[in-house]
Amino acid sequence: MTARRSRRRTAAYAALALALCGSLALTGCNSSTSKKSKKTSSSSKSKKRKIIGGGGTAAGAGAGAASRRTTTCKPSSYKVRFSQIANPNGRVIVKFVNSLSRPCRLYDAPLLRFDNAAKPLPLVNDDKGMLGHSIAVPPKGKAYAVIPTSTAAAKGTEKKTVKVTFMGGVDDSDTSANMTADIKLGTGRGHNSDAISVGNTKVTNWNSSLRGAEAEAGK
């Protein structure tokens, strides 16, 4: 091999090595760029997920707060139920059932007009300046008022109907001061199917427990 051929071959090898080196360098650069791009994309997606998740949490909290807001309790033939205990310590129990999925508020006492009476039953505590009383009834919860009927005069006669009026406050969703429901008694079926006898007596304030209402009635 001549010196000229040797120099040409050496130059060719050097050019080939340089080309390979450049190709490898370019591949490494592209790989690095691709990795950085993937990381940036992943980070962006993660941030989007956090933003979306945060919005959902806030919306859920707002809906929960709205569902817990207290409204004024409203009467109806299935929400207000009457039952009577006939013994020497007799009494009529008035039970309110909150059928809502949020709390509602009862004020003072139920106003009860049996058989279209001109005036409602007096309140046990009306002469003691105890109006202004209110209780919150939780979702699906109950409240009670009691009518003492332990004497013949208090027990009186059997009643066919009762007009129930709730004394009310005013809240964001209800601007009526009073709400009324007409209920038939002694129907023999459904709620308020039992006969109720009421005479010259009074009714307690609403209470969160039956024991509290009975205590207020002196029972």
The per-residue pLDDT for range 171-208, each reduced to its tens digit, is: 434 445 458 999 999 988 888 989 999 999 999 999 99
pTM over 0.75: no
CB atoms within 10 A of CB 80: 23
Q: Are residues 51 and 78 in the same domain?
A: no
Q: Are residues 123 and 176 in the same domain?
A: yes
The count of domains in the chain is 2
Q: Are residues 161 and 206 in the same domain?
A: yes
From residue 152, how far is each of 5, 24, 155, 157, 160 by CA, in Å?
A: 138, 109, 5, 9, 18
Q: Are residues 84 and 98 in the same domain?
A: yes
pLDDT band, residue 27 (cuts 50/70/90): very low
Q: Are residues 159 and 89 in the same domain?
A: yes
Q: Are residues 207 and 113 in the same domain?
A: yes
112, pLDDT greater than 70 = yes
DSSP 126: G
Edge-first strand order for the sheet with 178-184 is 110-114, 161-167, 178-184
From residue 122, how far is each of 36, 157, 182 by CA, in Å?
A: 81, 17, 19
pLDDT band, residue 132 (cuts 50/70/90): confident
C-alpha span between 207 and 141 (Å, rounded): 12
Distance of CA 160 to the CA centre of its chain: 35
H-type helices in the chain, by residue range? Answer: 3-68, 152-155, 210-216
Which region, left, alpha or beta, applies to residue 115 given φ > 0 means left and ψ of -120 to 50 means alpha? left
Q: Are residues 136 and 95 in the same domain?
A: yes
Residue 176, CB half-sphere, CA atoms under 13 Å: how many? 10
Q: Are residues 88 and 38 in the same domain?
A: no
pLDDT at 49: 43
Q: Are residues 88 and 141 in the same domain?
A: yes
Which of 68, 89, 112 represents a domain boundary (last residue)? 68
pLDDT band, residue 147 (cuts 50/70/90): very high
Q: Are residues 147 and 134 in the same domain?
A: yes
Residue with tokens 């059997």: 158
Which of 46, 68, 90 represents a domain boundary (last residue)? 68
Q: CATH number of the domain that 95 lies in? A: 2.60.40
H-type helices in 69-181, by residue range? Answer: 152-155
Domain interval for residue 40? 1-68
Q: Are residues 10 and 113 in the same domain?
A: no
What confidence tens digit (pLDDT) does each residue in 29-38 have? Answer: 344 444 444 4
Which of 40, 68, 96 represents a domain boundary (last residue)? 68
Of 6-15, 148-157, 182-191, minimum mean pLDDT range: 6-15
Q: Are residues 161 and 126 in the same domain?
A: yes
